[in-house]
């Protein structure tokens, strides 16, 4: 099985939901041990969603809460419909449905992804 290009569902044990993110980053060992294309939330380093008119409300509400409930460390939201477009990184989940840290950057501004990734994201490529 290749470690790149797999479509996987994230199982959230706190809510028993299953979400299919637009992007998922996890250790390759988690992919080797997944069953039925499901990755456990505890194995996830980052999930990302790109909003669209049909998914925006769910991405901004249900998915933020679901991922935070199950302690997914980083939730990255790319939102082309927020003003001129923005990217928000949610981190430090409290296990109760909220992220303690939230940083938003307009498209074109850099945005730091915290540990366990610890890198700067150049959002200039997201400009329309």
Tens of pLDDT, residues 82-93: 988 999 999 999
Sign of the dihedral defined by the CA atoms of residues 1, 5, 97, 99, in that order: positive
Pairing mode, strands 119-122 and 9-12: unpaired
Q: What is the pLDDT of residues 3-39, one digit of tens each?
A: 555 678 899 999 999 999 999 998 877 666 666 678 8
User: Looking at the predicted structure, is the pLDDT value of residue 2 above 50?
Assistant: no
In Å, how far are 35, 61, 87, 88, 106 from 103, measured between CA atoms? 34, 16, 8, 6, 10
Q: Cα(96)–Cα(83) distance, rounded to whole angstroms?
A: 29
User: Looking at the predicted structure, is the pLDDT value of residue 76 above 50?
Assistant: yes
pLDDT band at 1 (very low <50, low <70, confident <90, very high): very low
Reported pTM = 0.90
């Amino acid at each position: 099985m290749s470690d790149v290009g797999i479509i996987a569902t994230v199982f959230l044990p706190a809510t028993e939901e299953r979400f299919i993110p637009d992007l998922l980053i996890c250790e390759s060992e988690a992919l080797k041990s997944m069953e039925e294309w499901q990755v456990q939330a505890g194995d996830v380093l980052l999930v990302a969603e790109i909003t669209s008119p049909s998914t925006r409300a769910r991405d901004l509400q249900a998915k933020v809460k679901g991922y935070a409930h199950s302690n997914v460390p980083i939730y990255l939201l790319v939102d082309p419909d927020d003003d001129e477009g923005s990217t928000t990184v949610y981190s430090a989940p409290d296990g109760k449905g909220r992220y303690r840290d939230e940083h938003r950057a307009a498209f074109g501004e850099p945005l730091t992804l915290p540990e366990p990734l610890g890198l700067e994201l150049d959002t200039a490529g997201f400009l329309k």
